[in-house]
Structure 1
Amino acid sequence: MEEKDISTRLLEAVEKTAARMGLNVEDCKANMLLAYVEELTRWNKAYNLVGRKLGAQGIVDLCVDAITPLCFKELIAPQKEVVDIGSGAGMPGIPLYILAGPFPLTLVESQRKKITFLQHVRRKLGLEGIRIYPGRAETMCREEDHLNAYETAFARAVADPPRILKLASPILCDGGRLVIFVGEKDAEGLRRSSTLLEARGFKLQTTRSTKRFTSRDNHLALLIKMAK
């Protein structure tokens, strides 16, 4: 796939997805998102950040999926502290920051090659509101500076929902919101588990298929941390 083709496919996919969510993407933000995808594509070939077999179109699809939480209104705001648990190569945090930012964002990642990439992208794209926590979420959730510190948390492809709840609970403030990227089976499981969720301090607000935004039948689960 040629570079021009990558650019065209990404911009068309992002604009279409954003429009379906009632959002308008400014040219400067679309270009910054393209720069991120180009860097990720280049680094992935060398360092296997998201899987070499994925290819450029697969990375475009990942990026488009990453922005689907913007279908939840008022999830992100300029002064809200946001955390991306197990950010990997910056998904979903960086695409969300580019389109909906700036806002205070912490990317949690423990693998050295991915940390190096995140630092590179932050510097190259001038993403000044992004902080990188170079360690495991299991460690972060025991550190006093991070307890009850975040109003919104995202988790994608990092662990199963029960494990994510355990990691997110200490660092989210009361009333904080957690968005988990899940498959259809896990979405159904969460809808059937209100008692278990409440025992872990959460309430399920909704689950939503992203198919009408991206034509791929992925799901988002939006949960609220209840006050103790």
Structure 2
Amino acid sequence: MNIDQFRASLQEKGITLTDRQLDQFEKYYETLVEWNEKMNLTAITDKEDVYLKHFYDSITASFYFDFSKPFHLCDVGAGAGFPSIPLKIVFPEIEVTIVDSLNKRISFLTHLANVLELENVHFVHDRAETFGVNPEYRENFDVVTARAVARMSVLSEFCLPLVKVGGDFIAMKAASAKEELAVGQKAITTLGGKLDKMFTFTLPFEESERSILIIKKEKQTPKKYPRKPGTPGKAPIE
């Protein structure tokens, strides 16, 4: 996906990018590739692949959920900033908090936010399990996103404790979403969530399958979740 295709594909979805936004994506790509030589941020570095598999793929969440109104989004395990930074570029009114367990990635994201001149973005070096019990963050976000971080039974324990009651958890998944959802249903319910909607589609050009699960937070997460670091992965709620 070249830049013209990127712009045109978003236009088809009702998203018109300004010259400044296109420039921000270009700077994002350049910064990502430059830092990737020093640390492992992504295996995808070909420009057209980055625009399709990172930038466009991140923005697909907005095709199925309204990002046009201001709200506070938390992105769990965002790595090099996906999906939250592309979404922030397209929808500058949203406030973004990224939590990631690797300090090197937080350093990259802090530098990136300066390069892109982003406002109302916050970066926290922490594990999701300890972040989720911190009263400053617990059940404090309107929307929580995660893209390709862990299977649903584990991911729900990382993310749902952060969502305020009435808010939404958006899980961005590849082809295994239905199977993950079936296994993760108990975890979602236990943690106070309920599947609201699920959308499955294919990425343009390469036709790989993607799914977006929107989980509504219906009631408070029990105090014992998330459990201590490492436990959700070793003993998921299933």
How far the C-alpha of 1:227 sits from its partner, in A, is 2.4
State the aligned residue count.
218
Aligned to 1:28: 20
Task: Map 1:161-180 onto structure 2 (within 5 A).
Answer: 161-180=152-171
C-alpha change, 1:10 and 1:94, in structure 2 (3 Å) is: farther
C-alpha change, 1:38 and 1:195, in structure 2 (3 Å) is: same
State the AA in 2 paired with 1:166. Answer: E
How far the C-alpha of 1:123 sits from its partner, in A, is 1.2
How far the C-alpha of 1:198 sits from its partner, in A, is 2.5
Aligned to 2:60: 68
* Equivalent pair of 1:207/1:221 in contact (CA under 8 Å): yes
* Equivalent pair of 1:211/1:218 in contact (CA under 8 Å): yes
Q: Which moved more, 1:17-26 or 1:36-45?
A: 17-26
Q: Distance between the aligned counterparts of 2:190 and 2:209, measured in 1? A: 29
Aligned to 2:114: 123
> Are positions 1:56 and 2:56 aligned together?
no
How far the C-alpha of 1:24 sits from its partner, in A, is 1.6
C-alpha change, 1:26 and 1:208, in structure 2 (3 Å) is: same
Please, which of 213, 217, 225 is the counterpart of residue 225 of structure 1? 217
Q: Which moved more, 1:60-69 or 1:184-193?
A: 184-193
C-alpha change, 1:213 and 1:221, in structure 2 (3 Å) is: farther
TM-score with structure 1 setting the length: 0.86
Q: Distance between the aligned counterparts of 1:77 and 1:113, measured in 2? A: 32
Q: Which runs of 5+ in 1 are unaligned?
A: 1-8
How far the C-alpha of 1:157 sits from its partner, in A, is 1.6
**Alpha-carbon displacement from aligned partner over 1:92-128 (angstroms, at most 9, x marks no partner):** 1100000011321001112122111101011111112
Aligned to 2:96: 105
> Are positions 1:13 and 2:15 aligned together?
no
Q: Which runs of 5+ in 2 are unaligned?
A: 221-238
* Equivalent pair of 1:187/1:220 in contact (CA under 8 Å): no
> Are positions 1:152 and 2:130 aligned together?
no
State the AA in 2 paired with 1:13. Answer: Q
RMSD of aligned C-alpha atoms?
Answer: 2.1
Kindly indicate which of the two structures has a greater share of residues assigned to helix. Answer: 1
Q: Distance between the aligned counterparts of 2:184 and 2:106, measured in 1? A: 35
* Equivalent pair of 1:138/1:167 in contact (CA under 8 Å): yes
Over 6 Å off, 4+ runs: none
